[in-house]
């Protein structure tokens, strides 16, 4: 195993740790907007993981997943926040 792939695997492990910690915030978050923030960070972490996996395998098709994910993560958080804003009384 070369040093380069070791670096990539280390980076993936660190990002997985990020996912776990974001999950903790998602579980204990006292309010609903906290959870939306955690969801935003989830999407960013997963885009990073997809990017590093693309580099690890060398298969260029996976990068399209990251494009779609960046589009849909934005849509999801915006629509959820908008729904919350409309239902606030």
Partner 1 sequence: MLEDINFLLIREIISSVLIIVGVMFMLISTIGLLRFPDFYIRMSAITKGATLGLGFILSGMGIYFNEPDMLLKVMLIIGFTFLTSPVAAHVIGRTAVRNKIPFWQPTNLEEFKEYLRKEHSTHRDHQRDNKHL
Enumerate binding residues for partner 1 (CB under 8 A): 3-4, 7-8, 11, 14-15, 17-18, 21-22, 24-25, 31-34, 36-38, 40-41, 44-45, 47-48, 51-52, 54-55, 60, 63-64, 66-67, 70-71, 74, 77-78, 81-82, 84-85, 88-89
Nearer to partner 1, 1 or 88 (CB): 88
Distance, in Å, from the CA atom of 85 to the CA atom of 74, rounded to the nearest integer, reads 16
User: Using an 8 Å Cβ cutoff, are 54 and 63 in contact?
Assistant: yes
> Cα-flanking dihedrals φ and ψ of residue 33, to 5°?
-60, -30
């Amino acid at each position: 195993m070369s040093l380069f792939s070791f670096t990539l695997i280390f980076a993936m492990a660190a990002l997985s740790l990020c996912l776990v910690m974001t999950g903790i915030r998602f579980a204990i978050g006292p309010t609903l907007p906290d959870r939306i923030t955690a969801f935003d960070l989830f999407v960013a972490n997963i885009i990073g993981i997809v990017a590093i996996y693309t580099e690890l395998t060398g298969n260029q098709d996976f990068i399209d997943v990251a494009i779609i994910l960046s589009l849909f993560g934005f849509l999801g958080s915006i629509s959820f926040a908008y729904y919350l804003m409309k239902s606030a009384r």
